[in-house]
A and B are shown apart, each in its own frame.
Chain A
């Protein structure tokens, strides 16, 4: 492995404390940005770096910032999307718990770049330790003039507030997050207007993921060209890959964007344990289409994964060996989306529950062969027909699982039980 940037915390003990962080070159990027660069230069720098959002959609960060109105009477807000809830994803959590100042540095520079004076960190409610560490870091930064009024004597003011979510996946959708932050039910908004124009409290707002913001100080210190040179030019930079499931060394890996999925699984994560064979791998969190073992030579960057028929998403790499029942796996995924659909749009509200039911029937042996095509039909009726991407997130795995492992689905229907489970054994009960 090469140099760690985003996960420097693994090499420097106590990095979450301000003095250690500063001794390790911390807040130099803030100093440089606030004293040497103008906001528009920073926006341009991030644009040129080709930094793309690490939350899942991979939207170019600099371009997002440039959508803010040039002239506005209203305050501009930065919302940090720290509601890391995509199943199989656990990268932002490590940054917040072990290197919170790296995030704060990214927040300060970004706020300066977008002329924002109030930033909110919307953090997943379950991340109690992350909240504690962030609050401590914010207190330290505030006490030493890195936050609050007149930061480092530059005249720039910024307050950062931590807001804990209350346990809904949909709050990670950027407009759902904004609604929730406003104290409302997290119903995603119809777009346009996008948050850059009409966001928090109706004001121009930028919503960026934790890892995205953590990249910003490094770009400021080392330059856009340096960043763009890491991995593919259109989708560059250091990237955190969350590897879980049937691998020898599950965990978060910081690797250059574009590292092949095979290398991630077999070299870094140590391959499949217990002499088992790879059956499938989800490359980007629960919402993203699964890859078969034949498809894992794909470079893990946004464009390459998309070209291969899936998405890099949150880079939650979930590895399944040949002991795994794909019907059961899909049932568990759909149970999640059924539970998390906000219930606003008809196709998602009703479709997620229906998918979950049909899959439960299949797994428990109560389905008929027509149900396999029914799954595809339901998913097709959901895709692209809703306000936010949750319906697509629920429908895409169905298409990929059923298409790529169709024989296993048909076998469930024909046998009247899960073929991977000895006859007579109780099926896994679905909850939800």
Chain B
């Protein structure tokens, strides 16, 4: 374990660590463009040049391994001169079109210019090398060659991470330009990541560009719900609207990346079909209701049925879209009513998946369902069969789009005397319902999903649910309380604590213990 001194402060680092990593450990950012922790080292931008004692030349911090007793100066005159020089070089041919550039506000040229350069241009404007601007190179990404600092992050990403080699450099010297590799379209399933890793405005997102200036956006830590992988993400939002998903580092799950389908899945969370208020069936059509009266009606009717027809007369089906907390509360509700409980995890047949991040299971919480003993899809089908056979007196569908996965579902649902549907969007099942309760998506609620590998991960409410929609834990909690079960939890965290207290795989866990990157179920953190 070598010890290095950086700007007068000593730090011990693991063998093989580089100066840039050692500085990071001390909370010192050494400016850089080409270096990225998820990519092989290129060493080309020269922005991270630092002075190291006993070395005649400045060294790049990204590729210099720390040796014991090394003394590094990141703010010495020599280092500052080099930083200023590199920035000046980078800006010689840069168009400086920040006012119309979507990267403004999260651009490393802007940031480092303010931090390390701040000098007037010594190059007359008309002399800049001109290259192609605003060139769409794939469904998600648009290229501006003039803004490119040729750091090669994107090229290394497509060479070393996706192995698709869709991007390449052409020409030489200050005429080098980034472009599509011959015959390629930039449509690999992970193309959007290059927008995130591009330190400047050369690669921008066709989905996001010009929709918001990033400094107006707020961020919430979350987990992508588009498949069972559970890629860690940040939700960028403003005034109740989600603008984009970006991957958040989690070396155990998604490293620094996410797939394009997941990235774009936020659109589906704020679609036209969102349910915004509780409704109950009137004589002919649905009548808007309030949460209080709708929950009262549901609890009363379910209670009556349970009393009149005994155990097993009510069915509850929970899908793998439900977070752990909701599954737990649904189980409690089932116990209070003597209901039959089933889980369902359905994905479209033949859905895209690969051996990197994208899973064939398009549900975020199949493993969570299994850990609470509800993974058996057969039980759900049996419940629907019972409904079709007329033996089921009431059915609660929690985040279940029954008509999509069970061919005979429509007929079955029609025969159930009392059907309660809890969900986020208007789906076919709702038309047979007696009561429809509008729920929040995972972007609008706190909670946890358990990914395919058993990692329990938190998501945090980014935006408010639309209209009167409520988080699932709140809706189920209140229903449980009204049905004579336990007191409704005050927060999602309390529901999780109750789950942890009762369910062995979650034993010892808590929101605090899960932290930013989650924990594997059954492997409770010490303390």
Contact = CB atoms under 8 A, between A and B. Distances in A.
A binds B: yes
Nearest to A366: B124
Interface stretch (A231-239, A251-259, A275-283, A333-341): A333-341
A387 B44 contact: yes
B307 interface: no
Nearest to B49: A385
B122 interface: yes
Interface string B484-504: 000000000000000000000
B41 A190 contact: yes
A346 B149 contact: yes
A165 to B, nearest CB: 14
A168 interface: yes
B63 interface: yes
A192 to B, nearest CB: 10
A109 B58 CA distance: 39
Contacts of A386: 46
Contact of A347 (B89, B171, B176): B89
Contacts of A284: none
A350 B89 CA distance: 5
B173 interface: yes
B176 A343 contact: yes
Contact of A350 (B60, B92, B169): B92
B59 to A, nearest CB: 10
Given A349-B174, A354-B123, A387-B43, A343 B169 contact: yes
Contacts of A351: 89
Interface string A330-366: 0000000011111111110111111001000000000
Interface residues of A, number: 28
Contact of A343 (B58, B63, B88, B150): B150
A205 to B, nearest CB: 20
A384 B56 CA distance: 9
Contacts of A339: 172-173
A428 interface: no
Interface string B88-102: 111011000000000
A347 B86 CA distance: 6
Most buried by A among B88, B168, B173: B173
Given A190-B43, A349-B176, A354-B123, A343 B171 contact: yes
Contacts of B168: 185
A381 B63 contact: no
Contacts of A349: 89, 150, 173-174, 176
Interface in A185-208: 185, 187, 190
B82 interface: yes
Most buried by B among A338, A346, A351: A346
A221 interface: no
Interface in B53-71: 56-58, 60, 63
B45 interface: yes
Nearest to B123: A354
A57 interface: no
Contacts, number: 88
Contact of B45 (A190, A346, A352, A374): A346
Given A385-B46, A385-B85, A343 B174 contact: yes
Given A354-B123, A357-B127, A345 B58 contact: no
A346 B173 contact: no
A347 B46 contact: yes
Contacts of B88: 381
Given A345-B46, A346-B149, A381 B89 contact: yes
Interface residues of B, number: 35
B523 to A, nearest CB: 38
A34 B86 CA distance: 52
A344 B56 CA distance: 22
B175 interface: yes
Contacts of B89: 346-347, 349-351, 354, 381
A385 B84 CA distance: 13
Interface in B34-54: 41, 43-47, 49
B129 interface: yes
Given A349-B173, A353-B92, A384 B86 contact: no
Contacts of B41: 190
A384 B58 contact: yes
Contacts of B43: 190, 387
Interface in A363-402: 374, 381, 384-387
Contacts of A170: 172
A353 B174 CA distance: 6
Contact of A341 (B56, B57, B172): B172
A354 B150 CA distance: 17
B83 to A, nearest CB: 11
Contacts of A387: 43-44
Nearest to A338: B173
Contacts of B81: 381
Interface in B3-57: 41, 43-47, 49, 56-57
A387 to B, nearest CB: 6
B173 A343 contact: yes
Interface in B167-219: 168-169, 171-176
Contacts of B175: 343
A424 to B, nearest CB: 25
Contacts of B46: 345-347, 385-386
Interface in B269-288: none
A381 B82 CA distance: 7
Given A350-B90, A354-B92, A342 B172 contact: yes
Interface string B69-87: 0000000000001100110
Contacts of B129: 353
Contacts of B58: 384-385
Given A384-B58, A386-B46, A346 B86 contact: yes
A347 B82 CA distance: 10
A164 B294 CA distance: 81
Nearest to A350: B89
Contacts of A343: 150, 169, 171-176
Nearest to B149: A346
Interface of B: 41, 43-47, 49, 56-58, 60, 63, 81-82, 85-86, 88-90, 92-93, 122-123, 127, 129, 149-150, 168-169, 171-176
Given A341-B172, A353-B129, A385-B57, 20 more contacts: A185-B168, A190-B41, A190-B43, A338-B173, A338-B174, A340-B173, A343-B169, A343-B175, A343-B176, A344-B44, A346-B44, A346-B47, A347-B89, A349-B173, A349-B174, A352-B174, A353-B93, A381-B81, A384-B58, A387-B44
Smallest CB-CB A-B distances: 9 pairs: A343-B176, A381-B85, A350-B89, A353-B174, A341-B173, A384-B57, A190-B43, A344-B44, A350-B92
11 contacts: A168-B172, A185-B168, A340-B173, A345-B45, A346-B90, A347-B85, A349-B150, A354-B92, A374-B122, A381-B85, A385-B46
Interface of A: 168, 170, 185, 187, 190, 338-347, 349-354, 357, 374, 381, 384-387
